[in-house]
Amino acid sequence: MLTTRVTEGTTTFEVPVQDEESSFPAASGPVFYNTRMEMNRDATVLLVRALDLAGYLDTMGASGVRGLRVAHECGVPVTINDQSSRAEELIRRNADAIDPAIRVTRSDANALMSSERFDCIDLDPFGTPAPFVDAAARSARRYLFVTATDTAPLCGAHKKAGIRRYFSNPLNTEYHAEVGLRTLLGFVTRELVKYDRGLVPLFCFASHHFVRLHLGIREGAEAADRSLARMGFIHQCPACAYRDEQPGILPLHHVCPRCGVSLTPVGPLWLGAVCDPDLLGRMADLLPGTVLGTGKELFRLITLCREEHPSSSFYDYHRLAKSIRVSPPQIETFLGRIRGQGFAATRTHFAGTGVKTDAPLDVVLGLMQSG
């Protein structure tokens, strides 16, 4: 295997030299190293530094970079697994150079998680994590991290695939990135509550090509019930921007008060907050003293997520302006108008022109026209 040395954060390791035809993982084939996921890995390293982990499993190690960085930069006991013999060989070589205490295994991910328990499990598959969440829901003791790169099924662009994988009715809306995150979070919730376990979202976000969840796990039927109470639906009008939230595991029939047409239920999915502001504050405090290649991008993401209103959808205010044929004001001006009427209003990390607010749609549209 031809390799080259790469540094992320403060960790230097070997990765395979790949061309376009060899950049996909297989059981005994090429070993994958995705440079586009550096911010994803930086976020995890920073979060782990803010937590007190007793152990960490990098379930689908590939090149092993994520587990190698957690071991080297966070000082956490790490297991790195991959079912590929070529991946195992490379991971062992890197582990011996970085930290010989790193445990390296070659196993089917579900088999490993079904036979052992780990304080924190990180699922970062190529594509959907759906086939692995059940085993992770049983194996993870305190924390579960999940990446999904199949954003089209999650967001409703590939509707049938989204229904098959996540047992939810997604819809390709203007806030489709948030639909994808909340659909995945709702799916993980349903997998956990089967075992009388609940979750607390710690730092969940969507980027251009992936959704990332960092979750705390809580034990007991009461914790499961609290999580299940966060499940529900977004009812979206097919004719205008109106939408409404409905808690519960079964959709009720809703009619748009503006158009009189039946609303389309989106879900079941997670409703409410998807981040812990206090934890994000600790991460922001750690950031200046942490060497991260995407530190500036990550700081902006943390700031937006920390301030984000917990409503379950957002308005693209440029689209709203276009729908009523007015020029959109500056976003901070628009947010100020909404706050001036006594409502909450924030930007969102999901979209640069997104606005989250608890103001009714008619109020939002009226304020768009004012001034």
Q: Tokens 């061309």 correspond to what residue?
A: 19
Q: Note every long-range contact of 350-353, with CB atoms under 8 Å and residues 24 or more positions apart, other chains counting.
A: 350/175, 350/177, 350/178, 350/181, 350/206, 350/314, 351/175, 351/177, 351/314, 351/316, 353/316, 353/317, 353/318, 353/319, 353/328
Q: Would strands 78-81 and 103-105 be described as parallel, antiparallel, or unpaired? A: parallel
Mean pLDDT of the chain: 94
Q: What would the pLDDT profile of 273-322 be if each residue is shown by its tens digit? A: 999 999 999 999 999 999 999 999 999 999 999 999 999 999 999 999 99
Mean local confidence (pLDDT), 31-58: 94
Beta partners for residue 197, in sequence order: 219
Which of 18-32, 183-197, 209-223 has the weakest average pLDDT? 18-32
Six-digit token pair at 103? 């445990």
Query: What is the band of 33 on the pLDDT scale with cuts at 50, 70, 90?
Result: confident
Shortest CA distance to 243 belongs to which of 171, 187, 306? Answer: 171
Report the alpha-carbon distance of residue 49 to residue 74 in Å, rounded. Answer: 6
Peptide bond into 268 cis (omega under 30): yes
* Of 112, 135, 124, 17, the residue nearest 66 (C-alpha): 124
Q: How far apart are CA 252 and CA 30, in angstroms?
A: 48
The pTM of this model reads 0.95
Q: Which band of pLDDT confidence, cut at 50, 70 and 90, is reported for residue 142?
A: very high
Res 76 pLDDT > 90: yes
Residue type, 39: M
The average pLDDT across 326-348 equals 97
* 371 vs 121, higher pLDDT: 121
Tokens 């009008």 correspond to 237
pLDDT at res. 371: 61
User: How far apart are the C-alpha atoms of 339 and 178, rounded to whole Å?
Assistant: 23
Please, what are the domains in the chain?
A: 3-307 (3.40.50.150), 315-369 (3.30.56.70)
Tell me the CA end-to-end span of the chain in Å, nearest whole number. Answer: 64
User: Could you tell me which of 298, 273, 348, 218 has the C-alpha nearest to residue 49?
Assistant: 298
Percent of the chain residues topping a pLDDT of 90: 92
Q: pLDDT tens across 256-278, in order?
A: 999 999 999 999 999 999 999 99
- The helix (run of H) or strand (run of E) holding residue 201 is strand 197-201
The pLDDT of residue 24 is above 60:
no
User: What would the mean pLDDT of 231-245 be, rounded to a whole number?
Assistant: 97
Task: Give the pLDDT of residue 31.
Answer: 65
